[in-house]
Amino acid sequence: MTDLVIRPLATGEEALFESLPDPGLVGFAAFGDTYSGMAAAGEYRPEWTWVALRDSVVVARAAWWAGPKDDKPVALDWFDFTDASAAVQLLRDSPLQAEYSLKLPPGWRDVPAVREQAQARIDAVIAAGMSPLVERFRYRWTPDCGVPARPGRLEFRPEPDDAAILDVFRRIHQGSLDAHVRRTVAASGLEVAAQEELDYLRWLPSPREW
């Protein structure tokens, strides 16, 4: 068997990344996104996008995402392959480390082809050394849903003091059911978990007054 070549993309090689056959059942492709489109929008960087090639044919690919000012990836969120062993080797050989995030359509377990595609990716990242953390549901509000009447029990106001926001996080993280919060509290304590949430708000590009 021909030796596997694992490397990051060079600038302008988006077509090479997209040459891998993908049925588009899971991940960003299942929601109408393309790698080239997202890369053009600044979502991905060539040096953080890796491919595994055999006889110059892409058999596995992975793209790590980060914000425009980040100096390391925040998430691995584009990962697929036609050769599972090559995919595992790609993740092991790449120096990039980040949590894997896989977008799945509603009811993904009920459609055999979709479930198979999802499970293959999950199995590959586990084989590469990762472990499952949480499955999250995403809810989307649309205007046709309308909004409930406001009973007036809550007051909404801006809070310019980061210390007050940090205190809120301290309180709501006690006994939290959120998987990421529970992991951080268990590993580093409540204060670190609260600070991590505040740092995330500061990292977001929206203005502070929001």
Give CATH 3.40.630 domain extents, the chain: 5-127
Going by pLDDT thresholds of 50, 70 and 90, the confidence category of residue 1 is low
- What is the fold, at CATH topology level, of the domain defined by 5-127? Aminopeptidase (3.40.630)
Token digits of residue 181: 């919060």
* Structure confidence by residue, pLDDT tens digits, 87-122: 999 999 999 999 999 999 999 999 999 999 999 999
Closest CA to 31 of 89, 108, 91: 108
Q: Give the pLDDT confidence of 132-186 residue by residue, as tens digits.
A: 999 999 998 999 999 989 899 999 899 999 999 999 999 999 999 999 999 999 9
Distance CA 193, CA 169 (A): 8
Residue 2 has pLDDT above 80, yes or no: no
- Model confidence, pTM: 0.90
199 burial via Cβ count (<10 Å: 0-12, 13-18, 19+): exposed
Report pLDDT for 184. 97
